Amino acid sequence: MTSSPLDEARRLVEASSNVVVLTGAGVSTASGIPDFRGPEGVWTKNPEAERLSNIDAFTASSDVREAVWQRMLLRRDVVFEPNAAHRALAMFERTGKLKALITQNIDGLHIAAGSDPELVIEVHGYSRLSRCLRCGAELPTSEVLDRVAQGELDPHCRVMVGELVCDGLLKTAVVSFGQPLPVQEFARAEYLAKTCELLICIGSTLEVHPVARLVPKALERGARLVIVNADPTPFDHDADAVVRGDIPTVLGPLLGVTES
């Protein structure tokens, strides 16, 4: 009898001692966070929203910056909780097989679910901190949003540089289109992808570069590949197993973990 893709994926997990996981927006949709390019994606339903994620538009237009901060302010009190997929990955970590959890997500839900921050590599940045585009100073995004709520619609940096206020543009530490990925984080992700036995890609379209290039780099070094995604990806034909289905439902059985 031919085994199912889920059975084959589980067998590969059981046989591997060095596993790297790459997650995308599809892992967090069950937590109420929409993806970007899916049928109900943020950019699918509102193409103008994609412009707000472009660094050139952000730096060139105060109107764009105000729109970005207002959107974040409106969502500040919305609390998103980790779902069963995040929890399954945190439990899988306890097996000792997981060497890195590379995520394209900026929501911090892997860490909130209990994943070791030392293993989580946030290659697209994170929304919990904001950074000055001039001097590089960082501060909690919550502090910036407090200023926006008080009427500072286009907040600038207040750090003193010598005897002058920096006054550079503030932006969340999320990588926008046109910005490079964090150098150290991506270099680490690339090394771990190249040296793993098994790469599991979960909830990612695998179309956003340079992160998508981690897949062929892993394959070139002999890694096995499992893809868990609702829709086809460019690497399905290279995968040893492609699992379709509800990610929070299938991920625990695939990884061999169950919630108590």
Q: 221 forms bridges with which residues in the sheet?
A: none
Which residue in the list 110, 124, 209, 237 is annotated as catalytic? 124
Half-sphere exposure of 231 (CA within 13 A, CB side): 13
The dihedral through the CA atoms of 196, 199, 204, 210 has a sign that is positive
Whether residue 156 lies in the annotated active site = no
| Residue 181 to residue 52: CA distance in whole angstroms | 18
How is residue 60 written in tokens?
């060139």
SS3 readout for the chain: CCCCHHHHHHHHHHHCCCEEEEECHHHCHHHCCCCCCCCCCHHHHCHHHHHCCEHHHHHHCHHHHHHHHHHHHHCCCCCCCCCHHHHHHHHHHCCCCEEEEEECCCCCHHHHCCCCCCCEEECCEEEEEEEECCCCCEEEHHHHHHHHHCCCCCCECCCEECCEECCCEEEEEECCECCCCCHHHHHHHHHHHHHCCEEEEECCCCCCCCHHHHHHHHHHCCCEEEEECCCCCCCHHHCCEEECCCHHHHHHHHHCCCCC
| Catalytic positions | 124
